[in-house]
Amino acid sequence: MRISIIGAGRVAYHLAKVLHAEHQLTQVYSRSFERAQRLADQFNMQAIHSYAELNPSVDLIIIAVSDQSIPQVIQELHHYVPNVLIVHTSGSTHLDVLKQVHTRSGVFYPLQTFSVEREIDWCSTPLFIEANDLIDQQYLLKLASSLSEKVYAYSSAQRLSLHLAAVFACNFSNYCYDMAKQVVDAQSVDFSLLYPLILETAQKAVQQDPRAMQTGPAIRGDQNILAMHQNMLNVMNRSDLSQVYTLLSQQLVERHQSK
């Protein structure tokens, strides 16, 4: 399969890295030519300066850019390569955004958090595919199955719901870690002391219903501790953390009262 990539960020990098082994990566385009060139050098691709240089004989073009840029990118791509299968990699962009411009469109969404520093275990990463056309869907299923054991043909509505859940499970849990670090940093206490707790909490959530695994002063109804923590956050002059503490504790109390 001959594949070109639009974008040179984290998702583009990790996709190029894994696809490179079994497929022929042809071209890469990025608003920053320098970034495109860097990716091209690593994975034996051609970096291009404009969409006009796109090779129309590839099997697939993968759009791996910010969600906001997708509508603009598909307009341009359609103009130059009207007959190539084009997919985006976004959890939150409806297939229609591509489909209303470009017939042979689809989605190739890896549900994972990407950073340049860390390897992706593709085999266990769930991949969600969707296509306007049945043959294109078969093609994407085959491609996805060459990377992961967990491939699902999901509708845009299902995928959007998963991505919303991912914001809670990933972005917000990471912000909880970040807030925890700010609390210990203020006392010059080493954040790494919390590592076993962070890992165990995540491990528990993937073995049991997180609701059943919930612990802490809020669900114990321990008003003394809740008041003391609020007081500590006030002394630290951290009304932002105090607001989060209040809202989440209140919701935890309500959720576990109804048990």
Q: Quick one: 20 or 256, whose CB is closer to its own copies?
A: 256
Cα distance between residue 26 and residue 16, in whole Å: 10
Cα distance between residue 151 and residue 129, in whole Å: 7
Residues 64-83 that bind its own copies (CB under 8 A): 66-68
Q: Quick one: 1 or 180, whose CB is closer to its own copies?
A: 180
Q: How far is the CB of 37 from its own copies (least distance, A)?
A: 24
CA–CA distances in Å: residue 58 to residues 36, 73, 76, 97:
18, 17, 17, 22
Kindly state the DSSP code that residue 104 receives in the 8-state scheme: S
The encoded tokens of residue 48 equal: 């291009």
Q: Quick one: 60 or 95, whose CB is closer to its own copies?
A: 95
Q: Quick one: 141 or 244, whose CB is closer to its own copies?
A: 244
Instruction: Print the binding letters for residues 225-254 with its own copies: x by CB under 8 A, - otherwise.
Output: x--xx--xx------xx-xxx-xx--xx-x
Residues 182-211 that bind its own copies (CB under 8 A): 183-184, 186-187, 189, 191-211
Q: Quick one: 51 or 191, whose CB is closer to its own copies?
A: 191
Compute how many residues bind its own copies; rule: CB under 8 A: 91
Residue 153, strand partner residues:
129
Residue 109, strand partner residues:
128
Residues 126-185 that bind its own copies (CB under 8 A): 126, 150, 152, 157-158, 160-162, 164-181, 183-184
Which one of residues 220, 234, 257, 259 is an interface residue with its own copies (CB under 8 A)?
220
- Angle at CA of residue 82, ends 78 and 86, nearest 5°: 70
Cα distance between residue 175 and residue 5, in whole Å: 31
Beta strands in the chain (DSSP E): 2-6, 24-29, 46-48, 60-63, 85-88, 105-110, 127-131, 151-153
Q: How far is the CB of 87 from its own copies (least distance, A)?
A: 18
Residues 6-45 that bind its own copies (CB under 8 A): none
Q: How far is the CB of 52 from its own copies (least distance, A)?
A: 28
Indicate whether 96 belongs to the interface with its own copies (CB under 8 A).
no
